[in-house]
Amino acid sequence: MKEYKRNLLNKIKKKSLNIGLIGIGYVGIKLVLAFSKNKNKVYCFDNDKEKIELLKNNTSPYSYIKSSEIKKKTKYLNLENKISNINKCDVIIVCLPTPLKKEKPDLSHIKSGWEKFKPFLKKGQILILESTTYPGCTEDIFYKYLNNKFQIDKNFFLGYSPERENPGDKEYDFQNTPKVVSGIGKNSLEICDLLYQLIVKKTKIAESIRIAEASKLFENIYRSINIALINELKIACEYLKLNTYSIIDIAGTKPFGYSKFFPGPGIGGHCIPIDPLYFSWISKKKGFEVKFIQLSAQINKFRTNWIISEIKKIIKNQNKKNHKILLLGMAYKKNIEDTRESASVKIFSRFLNEKMCSVDYCDPFVKKITINKKIIKSLDYKKINYNNFDIVIIATDHDKFDYKKMLKSKKIIVDLRGRFYNLKNKNNIILL
Ligand SMILES: NC(=O)c1ccc[n+]([C@@H]2O[C@H](COP(=O)([O-])OP(=O)(O)OC[C@H]3O[C@@H](n4cnc5c(N)ncnc54)[C@H](O)[C@@H]3O)[C@@H](O)[C@H]2O)c1
């Protein structure tokens, strides 16, 4: 039995692994790039044939990854997308989506992927889940079948390692962010740990898979609650006529006990709006209702609606027909292209249906967007004439926007990101 573990550890040491990556999305693509070096071969599997075709043509499927980076790596990749190739892999890493369906975890992607690849598993492999999920999920989905077919932790290994990707972050990247690793037993843990040491500077061992699963959720619950708190305080400060950003600036100088969070138009992306509900769902199922998580989700939603109603008030006060609105930034976060759950999309859609105004958008990273089956194209950020609009909403403050030109236009700027908070003359700026 020991030979299975020894064999895997040997291949890790020699960097000559066959690694199967299931789901080449935001998370999967990073792993593809990180593992494709030395003598490793990375087998890519994805339902989306278009993505695989792009990779075959040395083209990046994502704006934040250059095609030249892909080109350097294609010689390490197997892009046949043939699921039976799983039996050629030493390591199988699952990076499939974990959305919600009716406020409950939707594990259909992992389950359908699992059904397709499980017939091709063999002795001596390690299976690792990277998707964010509730504590107990890895074992609930994989354990029973694996335990019937193999001797777990002896001739087949199982691990969990949550992804901590922060798209657009220039300080903390894949390599310098500690990677949490866990295993079903001590052999699985050792293999999982050494495997990730190939691609990150530091790993952090979790004592069990469940602890690792829950740690990822804690991280996102913490963010969701703190964002909700600052979003609510921002509204309160409007009533108190206080500049929230100045307060954050001062409070943030305390070196302990305070972490800076900034208000915004609401929340977006995959992690913050969704992951906390994986925790509250399982906790409720086991008999305890976590009130904080639900409350923060409600406040973050309220914040978006509050902003919409404040902008409507601004329009009404202008006493002008057919207001022209320009929304800047459709992605949920600056300098990236991800529009999943984006509050900007919600704000834009609401004004699209308003008779009192017309609305355009501009996002250098999101060339088009589909709303109510209608495709809407972004204006070219290099050619924007701000004077053509009555109100400019900074929903997401991408660095590519020309803020000087924007200010010169003297149009009303509704700043939802505090981009202009410390500007001396704020006459045409409304910090919402
Ligand atoms: N995006 C992030 O920044 C981030 C950060 C941390 C954790 N996560 C977690 O990682 C997991 C993956 O997220 P993501 O953002 O990479 O998702 P994604 O939607 O970008 O990518 C998932 C990929 O899986 C493919 N896919 C779906 N079902 C499939 C199937 N049955 N077989 C093969 N391919 C299939 C899709 O085509 C897509 O390319 C999720 O659990 C998410 O919560 C994401």
pTM to 2 decimal places? 0.94
- At residue 424 the predicted structure's pLDDT band, cuts being 50, 70 and 90, is confident
Q: What is the spatial distance between Cα 31 and Cα 196, in angstroms, rounded to a whole number?
A: 10
pLDDT confidence of residue 64:
79
User: One-letter amino acid identity for 81?
Assistant: N
Burial class (CB in 10 A: 0-12, 13-18, 19+), 251: exposed
48: Cβ below 6 Å to ligand 1? yes
Q: Which pLDDT tens digit goes with each residue over 73-94?
A: 999 999 999 999 999 999 999 9
CA of 346 to the centre of ligand 1 (A): 23
pLDDT confidence of residue 41:
98
Looking from the CA of residue 112, the nearest atom of ligand 1 is: 31
- Catalytic one among 95, 237, 271, 357? 271
Q: Which pLDDT tens digit goes with each residue over 14-47?
A: 999 999 999 999 899 999 999 999 999 999 999 9
CA of 129 to the centre of ligand 1 (A): 11
21: Cβ below 6 Å to ligand 1? no
CATH topology of domain 2-209: Rossmann fold (3.40.50)
Give Cβ neighbours of residue 142 (< 8 Å, ≥ 6 apart).
Answer: 114, 127, 129, 158
Q: Which pLDDT tens digit goes with each residue over 348-393?
A: 999 998 888 999 999 999 999 999 899 999 999 999 999 999 999 9
46: Cβ below 6 Å to ligand 1? yes
Query: Are 191 and 9 in contact, with CB atoms under 8 Å apart?
Result: yes
pLDDT confidence of residue 422:
86
pLDDT confidence of residue 144:
92
- CATH number (2.40.128.20, 2.60.120.340, 3.40.50.720, 3.40.50.1440) of 235-431 reads 3.40.50.720
Q: What is the spatial distance between Cα 7 and Cα 123, in angstroms, rounded to a whole number?
A: 11
CA of 78 to the centre of ligand 1 (A): 19
CA of 97 to the centre of ligand 1 (A): 4
pLDDT confidence of residue 167:
76
Looking from the CA of residue 24, the nearest atom of ligand 1 is: 39
Which residue is closest in CA terms to ligand 1's atom 7? 163
Length of the chain: 432
Looking from the CA of residue 29, the nearest atom of ligand 1 is: 16
pLDDT confidence of residue 207:
98
Beta strands in 95-164 (DSSP E): 100-101, 104-105, 126-129, 157-160
Query: Between vectors from CA 304 to CA 303 and to CA 306, what angle results, nearest 5°?
Result: 65
Which residue is closest in CA terms to ligand 1's atom 33? 46
Q: Which pLDDT tens digit goes with each residue over 129-176?
A: 999 999 999 999 999 999 999 999 999 999 999 999 887 788 998 889
Average pLDDT over residues 188-199: 98
**pLDDT > 70 in the chain, percent:** 100
pLDDT confidence of residue 384:
95
pLDDT confidence of residue 103:
86
Query: Between vectors from CA 245 to CA 239 and to CA 251, what angle results, nearest 5°?
Result: 105
Average pLDDT over residues 193-207: 98
Average pLDDT over residues 386-402: 96
CA of 166 to the centre of ligand 1 (A): 14
pLDDT confidence of residue 353:
87
- At residue 426 the predicted structure's pLDDT band, cuts being 50, 70 and 90, is confident
Probe ligand 1: pick from 22, 24, 26, 179, max atoms within 8 Å of CB? 26
95: Cβ below 6 Å to ligand 1? yes
98: Cβ below 6 Å to ligand 1? yes
CA of 420 to the centre of ligand 1 (A): 35
103: Cβ below 6 Å to ligand 1? no
113: Cβ below 6 Å to ligand 1? yes
Which residue is closest in CA terms to ligand 1's atom 18? 25
Q: Which pLDDT tens digit goes with each residue over 280-298?
A: 999 999 999 999 999 999 9
pLDDT confidence of residue 321:
82
In the block, tokens 């898979």 appear at 209
Q: Which of 413, 271, 281 is nearest to 333 (CA)?
A: 271
Which residue is closest in CA terms to ligand 1's atom 21? 25
CA of 294 to the centre of ligand 1 (A): 24
The two three-digit tokens of residue 223, written as one number = 């963010």
Same-fold call for 2-209 versus 235-431? yes
24: Cβ below 6 Å to ligand 1? yes
**Residue 193 pLDDT more than 90?**
yes
7: Cβ below 6 Å to ligand 1? no
103: region left, alpha or beta (phi > 0 left; psi from -120 to 50 alpha): left
- At residue 261 the predicted structure's pLDDT band, cuts being 50, 70 and 90, is very high
3-state secondary structure of 42: strand
Looking from the CA of residue 110, the nearest atom of ligand 1 is: 31
Mean pLDDT of all residues in the chain? 95
Q: What is the spatial distance between Cα 344 and Cα 180, in angstroms, rounded to a whole number?
A: 32
Query: Are 386 and 413 in contact, with CB atoms under 8 Å apart?
Result: no
Establish whether 192 is a catalytic residue: no
Probe ligand 1: pick from 33, 55, 96, 339, max atoms within 8 Å of CB? 96
Which residue is closest in CA terms to ligand 1's atom 10? 131
The two three-digit tokens of residue 212, written as one number = 């690792």
47: Cβ below 6 Å to ligand 1? yes
CA of 115 to the centre of ligand 1 (A): 17
- Domains of the chain, by residue range, sit at 2-209, 235-431
